[in-house]
């Protein structure tokens, strides 16, 4: 899946950036696991549209400090 490839590439390119946190939010992964990943600040969030909308509706994603959306 494309989101998994992007997440793997972000981890590869940022492996020397110790403080950069990359999280992948995809359908098929249980919500409790994703909620734990989203509980602390994230630098790079890779998400499928449907699952991102789900988390936004549940109030689990905060874009107040968003700098870039691709």
pLDDT score, position 3: 87
pLDDT score, position 33: 95
Q: What is the mean pLDDT of each run of 10 residues along the chain (70 residues)?
A: 89 85 91 94 92 94 89
Neighbours of 19 (CB within 10 A): 6
Pull the structure tokens for residue 43.
């630098």
Cα distances from 9 to residues 2, 6, 25, 34, in angstroms, run 11, 5, 15, 20
pLDDT score, position 62: 87
């Amino acid at each position: 899946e494309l989101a998994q490839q992007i997440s793997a590439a972000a981890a590869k390119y940022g492996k020397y950036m110790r403080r950069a946190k990359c999280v992948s939010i995809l359908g098929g992964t249980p919500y409790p696991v994703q909620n734990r990943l989203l509980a602390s600040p994230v630098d790079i969030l890779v998400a499928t549209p449907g699952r991102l909308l789900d988390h936004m509706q549940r109030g689990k994603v905060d874009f107040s400090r968003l700098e870039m959306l691709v």
